[in-house]
Chains A and B, each alone.
Chain A
């Protein structure tokens, strides 16, 4: 497998990363090196093997449905790039 120039741009777009032409070329080379390493695992026949998502097979815990946290909105929004009246501000998305 080898990633093309278009693949790299498509992945960057999916990952929400701006990539200029020069960076794309450098990334393409590095990513193909990494996938060369990753490809080694294709040699193993894993038919019938159950995937292991997590080290311990445990069920998610449930808790009582009650209020456990206090309102700290102001503290959390103090670190936002732009917040006003309790809202996070972003560029206009709906005309």
Chain B
């Protein structure tokens, strides 16, 4: 059952080969066996999951159900879940049980999914290694001495280790694509505005976007169908018709030998420059050649402002974070210091005790760049660069259907290597942050293995609201290759 696709799981449930309770038990047992080693889950809701599974079985017995009914999933611990702990990987929310569900959670619940639990992440989604969690580092299932990437490291490691068939994540600067790449799973960050942010604890609101982790592009499309789409509770939710993200997957290609005929693959030269590890480059180049074999055409493009994306991102994201995280004040929810002199002291102590170092650093950077006298030099300058970066993408995407490149400059690195070196960690985000600044959809799909058998992910960047096309290309690549079916030995 561990290796089945979402479609196969739904077929098995509907053919009564197994019940949702049996299926859920398989994953709960696997989590119990492997989580002590991987630390991918912060909370496992055994009783809740079994009750939801029993309800899903009853619903199925009573009449027709949807494609995700009875299928176990998990959520990144940054989505609010009513009645189940939501920590955001932070000590400041170590006792926070949300009084409501995030829209993504509510929609997946309505689709009949079973929630196994909540996955570990860098605190408030700030980090690229998952070492910045108050609940301990997550281990990469391919090599437990290495990081799974971040911030949605628990979600990526969880799917890679087959602890759940699908897990949600969030991506503010690469937090879905980079861990998907490092853990050898498929992960998709939708267009900004495609997935509701309501109930998804905010890091940087103009960049945050929720999305799926799963074993394949097809599974990601099925998940998006369940939770993407307009939500009036999110003021930046895109008002668009509901779309079927799987609609292009079933279409038979005109020439079965050339399923990617007519597809133009843009290859930005800046994504293959200095700093890209040789083994990653090799795997990416091989994947592009494979796509060319399938009929696609390679187009050389340029994203000249690429290297400015990191400084611009590390101004804009902390600026928004410093504002968003001001809500954690020890008054309405979360940790409050045990002793304090007055209100000001209560704020300062509660926040200093509750937030980890990386979060405190970003809050301080954000506070500074927004402060009087520095706003124009930093924040405004970053927003102007943001426009130039978005225009780069617009020009490149006018010449092709998708852009291809790495999601991470290297494969997974050893735990501890960047743990206390923020600048090195930020520089590793070179291929992902610009996409969030522009608000484009992008995904990472497994495309090979580098030195030591560590997975490499191919990043695909699509045009605004063109997820279906991107998923089609990824799906056709996955039909012709088997990288996405490989799982670590555990």
- B residues within 8 A CB of A50? 384, 387
Per-residue interface assignment for chain A, residues 47 to 71, with 1 indicating a CB less than 8 Å from any chain B CB and 0 otherwise: 0011111111010110100000000
Q: Is the CB of A90 within 8 A of B364?
A: no
* Chain B interface extent, by class: 35 or more
Asked whether B418 is an interface residue with its Cβ less than 8 Å from the other chain, the reply is no
B residues near A79, Cβ cutoff 8 Å? 95-99, 332-333
Q: Name which residue of chain B comes closest to A63, CB basis.
A: B232
Q: Closest chain A residue to B336 by CB distance?
A: A81
Q: Does B381 contact A (CB under 8 A)?
A: yes
Task: Report the count of interface residues on A (CB-CB < 8 A).
Answer: 52
A41 near B312 (CB under 8 angstroms)?
A: yes
Q: In the assembled complex, how far is the CB of residue A91 from the closest CB belonging to chain B, in whole angstroms?
A: 5
Whether B99 lies near A75 (C-beta < 8 A) is yes
Contact of B461 with A by CB under 8 A: no
Q: Is the CB of A51 within 8 A of B312?
A: no
Nearest A-chain residue to B369, judged by Cβ = A38
A46: nearest residue on chain B (CB-CB)?
B384
- Establish whether residues A44 and B308, one from each chain, have CB atoms under 8 Å apart when the complex forms: yes
Q: Is the CB of A52 within 8 A of B232?
A: no
Pick out which of these stretches binds chain A: B25-33, B269-277, B347-355.
B347-355
Interface residue? B423 (CB, 8 A)? yes
Tell me the minimal C-beta distance from A4 to chain B in angstroms: 12
Query: Does B311 lie at the interface of the complex (its beta carbon under 8 Å from any beta carbon of A)?
Result: yes
The answer to whether A37 and B206 touch (CB under 8 A), given A27-B364, A46-B388, A60-B235, is: no
Task: Count CB-based A-B contacts (< 8 Å).
Answer: 165
B242 at the interface (CB under 8 A from A): no
Beta-carbon nearest neighbor of B438 in chain A: A55
Given A33-B422, A42-B377, A55-B390, check contact A88 B308 (CB 8 Å): no
Known: A14-B371, A15-B367, A61-B235. A54 touches B384 (CB 8 A): no
User: Taking each of B97, B336, B352, B422, which has the highest tally of chain A beta carbons within 10 Å of its own beta carbon?
Assistant: B352
Interface-central residue, B95, B232, B363, B369, by most chain A CB under 10 Å: B363
Name A18's contact: one of B236, B238, B348, B423 (CB within 8 Å).
B348
Please, which residues of chain B bring their CB within 8 A of the CB of A51? 380, 383-384, 386-387
- The reply to whether A37 and B387 form a contact with Cβ atoms under 8 Å apart is no
Asked if residues A81 and B99 are in contact (CB atoms below 8 Å), the reply is: no
Interface residues of B in 425-445 (CB under 8 A from A): 426-427, 437-440
Which residues of chain B from 382 to 420 have a CB within 8 Å of any chain A CB? 382-388, 390
A14 and B363 CA atoms in complex are apart in Å by 10
- Could you mark each residue 171-199 of chain B with 1 if its beta carbon is under 8 Å from any beta carbon of chain A, else 0? 00000000000000000000011000000
With contacts A11-B371, A75-B99 known, what are 17 further pairs, Cβ within 8 A? A15-B360, A27-B361, A30-B361, A34-B423, A37-B310, A40-B307, A52-B390, A52-B437, A55-B192, A55-B439, A60-B235, A61-B235, A81-B331, A81-B334, A91-B340, A91-B341, A93-B343
What is the interface of chain B, defined by CB distance below 8 A to chain A?
95-99, 192-193, 206, 232, 235-236, 238-239, 307-308, 310-312, 314-315, 322, 326, 329-336, 340-349, 351-352, 355, 360-361, 363-365, 367-369, 371, 377-378, 380-388, 390, 422-423, 426-427, 437-440, 464
Q: Which residues of A contact B (CB under 8 A)?
A: 3, 7-8, 11-19, 27, 30-31, 33-42, 44, 46, 49-56, 58, 60-61, 63, 72, 75-76, 78-82, 88, 90-93
6 contacting pairs across A/B (C-beta < 8 A): A41-B308, A52-B437, A61-B235, A79-B96, A79-B332, A91-B346
The 7 closest A-B pairs by CB, nearest first: A55-B439, A51-B383, A81-B336, A52-B387, A46-B384, A18-B352, A18-B348
